Amino acid sequence: MEKKAALVIVDVQNDFCPGGALAVADGDQVAALLSDYAASFAAAGVPVFATRDWHPARTSHFKVYGGIWPVHCVQNTFGAEFHAALRLPPGAVVVSKGSAADVDSYSGFDGVDGGGAGLAQLLRAQAVDEIFIGGLATDYCVKQTVLDGLKHGFSVVLLRDAIRGVDLAPGDSARALDEMRRAGVRTLAAIGELRL
Ligand SMILES: [Zn+2]
């Protein structure tokens, strides 16, 4: 039987791009690329989801309140907005995560839409069984979203050209890729290989 696909774009927000509070090197480069993916998927009738880090001003996720990260992606600030080069197709669903004061929420599967429905629930409601994932950052939110997608029983394809990592320790992104592959993710090298 044909698989029913969805695209999940992870955290392509200003604070994760150059100039942002928690910038990922070349993070902005995935924005235009993921816009192209999103347009291709939408043209094929594939639903598109975009997750965002959406923190309260005070959360134990931030270093100043006991976490490990600088303040980033605070709700309703410029840093939390999607990068200007990210164009989402009409009907794209925004999924927000990290909104509680005491959780990190790296995974898009921790997020909810405007009506409070979780990502897994939203995907199942559209009978999706295969998700394509790209975005920021390889070694945190992309990795956790991929691993959770597999745990939820979805077939997961990583858009290899549309991810970038933090690499807090050198090699973190490479290790994250290994971990995702061991867990069963498949990869697509470039948009030219996409067959919908
Ligand atoms: Zn965060």
CA neighbours within 13 Å on the CB side: how many for 16? 31
Assess contact for 147 and 177: CB atoms under 8 A.
no
Q: What is the pTM of this model?
A: 0.97
C-alpha to C-alpha distances, 161 to 49, 91, 105, 132, 151, nearest whole angstrom: 18, 24, 24, 12, 23
Q: Is 11 in the active site?
A: yes
Distance set, CA 80 to CA 20, 21, 150 (Å): 10, 10, 27
Please name which of 185, 119, 194, 173 lies closest in space to residue 147, comparing C-alpha atoms.
185
Annotation says 97 is catalytic: yes
What's the CA gap between 59 and 46, in Å, rounded? 35
Instruction: Tell the burial category of 16 from Cβ atoms under 10 Å away from its Cβ (0-12, 13-18, 19+).
Output: buried
Q: How many A from CA of 147 to the centre of ligand 1?
A: 18
Active site residue 141: yes
- Which domains, and CATH codes, for the chain? 5-193 (3.40.50.850)
The CA 61 to ligand 1 mean position distance, Å, reads: 7
Instruction: Tell me the CA–centroid distance for residue 72 and ligand 1, in Å.
Output: 6
Give the DSSP letter of residue 146. Answer: H
Q: What single-letter amino acid sits at 66?
A: G
Distance between CA atoms of residues 161 and 32, nearest Å: 11
Which residue of the set 28, 141, 143, 161 is catalytic? Answer: 141
d(CA 167, CA 24): 9
Phi-psi region of 82 (alpha: psi -120 to 50; beta: other; left: phi over 0): beta
**In the prediction, which pLDDT does 195 show?**
86
pLDDT tens for the chain, 196 residues: list them.
578 999 999 999 999 999 999 999 999 999 999 999 999 999 999 999 999 999 999 999 999 999 999 999 999 999 999 999 999 999 999 999 999 998 889 999 999 999 999 999 999 999 999 999 999 999 999 999 999 999 999 999 999 999 999 998 999 999 999 999 999 999 999 988 988 8
